[in-house]
Structure 1
């Protein structure tokens, strides 16, 4: 082979490797074996998610694990059938993507269903732990019948809310959706045909990164026996910075996400973290005793937490239209646009399902009137866009925060004497279901775009997975609810978020005037500031072309996320950016070719460890070591207490 031929083979686009592979029609991507596999894995993942929801409330990303386990199951089946000479249809990456989409949609319902948060917060078990609001109108006995009916009523609407924007998000804004991108890289690597040199090298790099990330996550587990233990609580910049949520938590996932996200996204996150936790919150805390009571705990929404709760900002696009310049983009765009879902179907579906919900939900929750549900469905598409956009930039879904906002608004609207607690919690379910499923669907559209999977097969598999979730989620929860003392703070399944959501509803029925002083003013100020920043960005894009200053203006959406979460994950992502930057300076070609593979491997390996970790938790196995960091003074006190 000549040098020119070798270089040509080295530089072949990924989709060139699949050029000889036939892309099945969208109907053939939805096979019976994929549906059966999805059902089996959905049950497994629903049990895992429900258990974690009721114990810690922390759910790992399941996209990668769903894609990997789906591949393993169907591949084993097809190999066995092929040996018997009965294989009629080969296993394709499109079918693999369908399985992953179904399973993630189903397990997503286990989260957004609120069985460990807003629905459980309605129950007598949870209400008994609160000091107020235990009137009959504000408490509802849980029943598998009405819970399942509620989920079927609200869970499908969000799928139609975001479909008309799929081309804008994926093709125009070119949002990265890091988990979706990483999952697509993994699925492509499973199915890459032989003969593509660059693709084979990328697969090998991804595999090494994947294995290293997986074992690093496994190693960290041994030191995390309790909350605040392990590398994830490492005070990198000192204990004072750690209390302000500034530290590097050694998360391979967010280092990988940082390598995929644009530099300005990561810089914006860091700027938001510095501004909020370094300047704004300390300034507000200095007003303790003036703006809010000095006796309140830090977690109270009447205190400092009330300001953080309302820190979301809406943003516009910060990307430019790009010309399709390479073979991969041309081929992916061709198939992404091939099987369209008409906007009339999307809009009509949203209106029809919203109308059904407006009629059904007030029958389940008499406290929530039909016109209130109508208002929720008018507002929801805007919030769904904001969440899907933010998730595309940073991989963070803020669905639960939008749900909490709905609790405050609708609880205040109804009032305590009219059942405002239940009305707020029910409205949280409506909002969370729409916002969460919308971002999940767009994440899957990104995976489908990168694997040449039809948007129609993605949509139908999402619908199928959602239906499975609406059945399995309440069934699995009901088993735990009847078998264990769910919601008991001293029990195995304390469901910590249930009481918190009810507490937000109790705050809401008091009205916005109960929030700390100047809280609403700050919300309005930051809302206006976010709009102005985006207007300036858009004006500079259209009229200032020489220096392209708009590239250096931070994204308000990205700046908003650390306001609530802290700066630790922003530091992780900036480390990822730094790695990529140094790599590009030393060898730009290698960084371009293998950077996404390394990043995807880091995300996939770390995410996959969530499955064995969850299984260990289900079995009651705890890590053997707690690695914790103390100040010198605290250490002396501990030594004195323990004695020689």
Structure 2
């Protein structure tokens, strides 16, 4: 081990590590499971509306702090929640809340759209849980290399550590205020959603009395949507992504769609009819930009593979630093792999008819991809599932042609392992900065992924009762639409597509590459003026009304940050998170009441 790395670990043990503070307590696990389950429900709602899974850790730590403040006021608990306890709780919540990411819901939804067959609940719970657990174990051997020794940024993990420190410091006085903003906005969103969906007092969409090419703007999906979850989601994204979505939405539905209708390529003015064509250029932009950005980060990829030799090389001096007794033992990863890999392979063969030999390739490939994803996340804060998923789909399109279900779910293995490895390392970065026990965080993450797997499958079955609702205005499910389209293209080829769609794919690929290159090489002062390829690509597969609402959220947050930065720091994340949580949880409750007959649809 390099001397500076050894010194860094020794300094952490001496000055940061807090071995006597409470970490993974029973109450942290229980409350973390409850918050994680709620955030998993919230994220699945948001995912099928927008295509994004929202961040969990910042919201969870604020919500945890506020919950314990309330429990103390009610004299239900006596001892306040400690910073390291909050960190462990947040790790549990993150493991559960992110069960919608890594391609899990994109793959599940795409599979349902294409095959219309819903795999049984227990099998899918096992599928998601085992993949996530394997991702947790994949993070263990690279933790010391990426966090202790190289000190990668993991920006979200660093921000979460700063938030936990600030809200638990009495002098800061910001914790209770942030929790109050979050709670208040959640209540507002929940009431608003009840009035809209249960009592129908508020219209879901507000159209403008303007026509375009003989049809109302609302028919072209250009309208104001009464969904505060979209405003909250927009507020949490960058302003660049927000205005790019508005630009992409207007170009798609006000320019491209009328031209397609005029030429007879699209025969019906409706969201589903339009997106059946715009899916192809939109997916091409997303895939090309993701792969290009991934390839441009070749130094990070190279460091991932060169770092593996250091990770698995025997480090005789590791015990001398005293940190080996605190970190997870190196043997946990191979044992976890030996136990879980056969389960994943068996499920691939049994559930999705993937040949055994192809399944045996998938898991080691996914673990290596997980190592790469973890490093990229540490350096950029972006887990490259948009790149890793299509790479896997392409590989399996070649080696198992025609097997669409296998194509989708093999990519799910890569994305799921990569995301959960990166997610654990993000929370381990928080723990490193706060002085937490790494083993406790691994236990916490495993608690979380178990809860997330148990929650996410029944929730999917509840809100998506029939495959026909996916890809419609109510549930645009853009990521599912993209995954389904890419899998079909790789499995069956693009020869059956309309000639205009083939041309659109080529244009989308070129545009995706160009935008990614511009993003990388343009002068820094010009980058905020460049359209985001993710924003443009997603805008082509969600309704224009969603693009408008998310832009408004992003613009409002940006205005507040520029005009009132102190107020923005206190309110933007809590209020946006509250709007998302309030609407999504109430939306799921209303759906449950409709299914059980207590409310009329």
Q: TM-score with structure 2 length normalisation?
A: 0.63
Counterpart pick for 1:578 among 554, 559, 567: 559
Q: Note if 1:595 corresponds to 2:577.
A: no
Q: Note if 1:94 corresponds to 2:84.
A: yes
Q: Note if 1:618 corresponds to 2:600.
A: no
Change (3 A) 1:601 1:559: same
Aligned to 2:409: 426
Alignment of 1:59-458 (within 5 A): 63=56, 66-67=60-61, 70-71=64-65, 91-109=81-99, 118=108, 142=120, 144=122, 146-159=123-136, 191-193=168-170, 196=171, 199-200=172-173, 202-203=174-175, 206=178, 209-210=181-182, 213-225=185-197, 230=202, 233-235=205-207, 240-247=216-223, 249=225, 263-289=239-265, 294=267, 299=272, 303-312=277-286, 313-314=289-290, 316=293, 356=342, 359-365=345-351, 367-370=353-356, 372-373=358-359, 374=361, 378=365, 381=370, 410=396, 414-415=400-401, 420-427=403-410, 429-434=412-417, 436-437=419-420, 440-441=423-424, 444=427, 458=441
Q: Measure how far apart 1:244 and its partner are.
A: 4.6
Q: Is the 8 A contact 2:95 2:445 kept in 1?
A: yes
Distance 1:445 1:598 in 2: 26
Q: Is the 8 A contact 2:220 2:271 kept in 1?
A: no
Change (3 A) 1:562 1:94: farther
Change (3 A) 1:578 1:76: closer
Counterpart pick for 1:514 among 489, 496, 508: 496
Counterpart pick for 1:557 among 534, 539, 542: 534
The one-character-per-residue Cα deviations of 1:297-351 (angstroms, maximum 9, x if unpaired) are 85368644444444413264999xxxxxxxxxxxxxxxxxx99989999997998
Distance 1:548 1:113 in 2: 33
Change (3 A) 1:485 1:70: closer
Q: Note if 1:29 corresponds to 2:23.
A: yes
Aligned to 1:16: none
Runs of 5+ unmatched residues, structure 2: 1-14, 298-322
Distance 1:538 1:347 in 2: 35
Change (3 A) 1:403 1:536: closer
Distance 1:53 1:156 in 2: 24
Distance 1:579 1:431 in 2: 39
Q: Measure how far apart 1:34 and its partner are.
A: 1.9
Distance 2:354 2:535 in 1: 33
Q: Measure how far apart 1:295 and its partner are.
A: 7.4
What SS class does the counterpart of residue 564 from structure 1 fall into?
A: coil
Q: Measure how far apart 1:514 and its partner are.
A: 2.5
Distance 1:174 1:215 in 2: 32
Q: Is the 8 A contact 1:258 1:577 kept in 2?
A: no
The one-character-per-residue Cα deviations of 1:234-277 (angstroms, maximum 9, x if unpaired) are 34796755555555546666656666655544444444444444
Q: Is the 8 A contact 1:184 1:448 kept in 2?
A: yes
Change (3 A) 1:270 1:452: farther
Higher Cα Rg, which structure: 1
After superposition, the CA RMSD in angstroms is: 6.1
Distance 2:525 2:293 in 1: 18
Alignment of 1:444-593 (within 5 A): 444=427, 458-470=441-453, 487=466, 510-541=492-523, 548-550=525-527, 552-565=529-542, 566=544, 567-568=547-548, 569-581=550-562, 583=563, 591-593=564-566
Aligned to 1:544: none
Q: Measure how far apart 1:599 and its partner are.
A: 0.5
What SS class does the counterpart of residue 513 from structure 1 fall into?
A: coil
Change (3 A) 1:45 1:305: closer
Distance 2:390 2:276 in 1: 15
Q: Measure how far apart 1:294 and its partner are.
A: 3.9
Runs of 5+ unmatched residues, structure 1: 1-20, 131-138, 320-337, 542-546, 584-590, 627-644
What SS class does the counterpart of residue 495 from structure 2 fall into?
A: helix
Q: Is the 8 A contact 1:249 1:572 kept in 2?
A: no
The one-character-per-residue Cα deviations of 1:201-257 (angstroms, maximum 9, x if unpaired) are x45764664455335424532442389994763347967555555555466666566
| Number of residue equivalences | 531
Q: Is the 8 A contact 1:213 1:602 kept in 2?
A: yes
What SS class does the counterpart of residue 498 from structure 2 fall into?
A: coil
Q: Is the 8 A contact 1:109 1:470 kept in 2?
A: yes
Higher helix share: 2
Q: Is the 8 A contact 2:385 2:418 kept in 1?
A: yes
Q: Measure how far apart 1:30 and its partner are.
A: 2.2
Change (3 A) 1:38 1:174: closer
Change (3 A) 1:352 1:619: same
